[in-house]
Every structure is written in C-alpha cells, then in structure tokens.
Amino acid sequence: MDYLSLLLGLAGLWYGTELTIRGAVTVASRLGVSDFIVGVAILSIGSDLPELAIAIDGAVINLRAGDASDVIVGTAIGSSLGQIGFVLGTAALLSYLTLPRSVVFQHGSVLLGSALLLGIFGFDGAVSRTEGIALLVVYFVYFAALFGDRRKSAGPDGVDGLIGTAKPWLYLAVGLAIVGICAELTVSGAIAVAAALNISESFVAVIIIGLGTSLPELSISVGAAIRKRARMSVGNLIGSNIFDTLVPVGAAAVISTLRFDGNLLRYDLPFLFFLTLIVLVFFVRKRGIQKGEAITVLALYGGYLLLKLSHAF
C-alpha cells in the first residue's frame, strides 16, 4: 500500500498540475504575454505546484511532532536537478535551445544566487522562520520584476479578454484541489517507502519524488521545444528552478523550522549549483544548447544518479 500511495500521489499531482497549467496558459495568452515570460512566470509556478503542496503538507506534519524536513528539502533540490539535468537535456536533444546573453545573465544570476542563498541558510543545519520569510521575499521581488516586463509586453486588450472566460478558472480551481489532496498521499507514501526499504527519506525525495514532480516540466518543455518555442521551454525551466529553490522551502520554514540534512548540503546542493553553472556557460559560450551539450548535461545528471543509487544501497 505504501508504494501504491506514492504512485497514486505522484499521478494525481501530475494530472492536477496539467489542469492548472491548461487554465493558466489560456489566461496568460489572453493577456498577450511573451513566450519567455509565460514560461518563467506562469508555467513555472503552475508546474511547481506539486513541490509547493508537498512542502506545505510536510510542514504541517512537522507541526504535529513529525519530521518531514528531508522530504521537503529533498524534493525541492531533487526537482531542480531533474529539471536542469534530465528535462533540459531531453528538450535540447529535440530542439536547439537559445537565449539572448542579456537574458542569461539576468535570470542566470538569480538562478545561481537562489541555490547559494539556500545553502547559506541551511549551513547551520536548519532553515528558520526568518530565513524562510527571506527566501519568499527574494522570490516575490524577482516575480515583481517579471510582472513589470509582462506589463510592457501585454496588449491593450489583455484584461478585457479575460471577461467571460470561466473555463480556464475552473481548470485552475479543480487542478489546485487535486494537487492539494495528492500531496498528502505523496508525502506519507515517501516516508513509508523510505522506512520499508531502510533508506533515507532525502534519497526518496531527491530521486523518486524529485523526478516524479518534474514530469509536468518535461511535458511542457519538450512540447514547447517540438513546436519551436524554445524560449518558452527554457523560460519554464529557469523559472521552475528559481521557484523550487526559494518558495517550497521558504513556505514550509515559515510554518515550521526545517532541519537541513548534511548530505543535501554537502553533495546535492553543490551539484545543483555546478550543473546550473555548466548549463549557463553553454548558453553564453556556445550560443545555446545543441545535441552535444545536451548529451553532456544528461551524462552529468546520469552519473549523479548512479552515485546516489550506489550510496543508498
């Protein structure tokens, strides 16, 4: 039953996220938002609802004298690794992914800074409520800057186009409800599976949940790449990783102080920083990511998975 609970939870998170994204994209398109901003600000938040729901549910478990800290932090880092390693590498195999250098420097600096900030806050072995608030503030400042760009790119009829569009909002509401319910199944299932296999909860979170919650990004980014909308694909991944490293951990820490596992701090988070830096260098020096760079990224991520598996068992 533990395995079934975990699988049902992940499947429900995927389906709920798909509904939510469908509604969000429809609303965004009627606002006249650019592909990159749709990816960074709209699709990234929609596709990261599973991570946020898991974090909030785990924080509530902490308040009840439980401890889901490894699941919360591990899921956030594991999802970021899955997106920058597996999802971006797969999308780049199918399409040449490019971004202007100014965009790479602007958003890439936030991406690297988010991972560094999370590491600084977790260095003492815990993320406090104050530090959680700081993580959220950093994201909201970043999002406010994106909203300014959106205002510049929106057409004059953007807001009026939303009148009478009840169906997208229904998708949003139903999708959010499904995500909220399935988060509980996923967290409880992950904890039970870790106990049954006698492995750490952080391993289950980083590998199983992290990859599982990256499925929406995989669907979005690959679909966008195939349709030759590379900037939406890359924007979704950049926005998702910034969101994952700041918001789920920040929101959970505001509810209840989080324990930060030493292995996540010593190995997983530094590898996330390293892999992100490699990807950004490819965008700047190689003018994008083509098949050769994609294979390199996938190989690095595959090597990381093999090391995790060898240490876990």
What SS3 class is residue 258?
A: strand
pTM of the model: 0.80
Question: Rounded CA gap, 81 and 271, in Å?
Answer: 8
How many residues can be counted in the chain? 313
> In which band, very low, low, confident or very high, does the pLDDT at 248 lie, cut at 50, 70 and 90?
very high
Give the residue, 127 or 208, on which the prediction is more confident. 127
- What range does the domain containing 209 cover? 2-312
Type and span of the H or E element at 60:
helix 49-63
What pLDDT is stored for residue 235 in this prediction? 80
Contacts of 11 (CB under 8 A, 6+ apart): 182
Give the 3-state secondary structure of 196-245.
HHCCCHHHHHHHHHHHHCCHHHHHHHHHHHHCCCHHHHHHHHHHHHHHHH
Number of domains in the chain: 1
- The one-letter code for the residue type at 296 is T
CA proximity to 10, closest of 215, 252, 203: 215
- The one-letter code for the residue type at 295 is I
Count Cβ atoms within 10 A of the Cβ of residue 113 and give its class: 0-12 exposed, 13-18 middle, 19 or more buried: middle
> In which band, very low, low, confident or very high, does the pLDDT at 123 lie, cut at 50, 70 and 90?
very high
Q: Model confidence over 76-94: pLDDT tens digits?
A: 999 999 999 998 999 888 8
What pLDDT is stored for residue 311 in this prediction? 77
CATH of the domain at 126: 1.20.1420.30
**Is the CB of residue 265 less than 8 Å from the CB of residue 71?**
no
The mean pLDDT of 157-171, rounded to a whole number, is 54
The mean pLDDT of 261-290, rounded to a whole number, is 90
The mean pLDDT of 5-31, rounded to a whole number, is 67
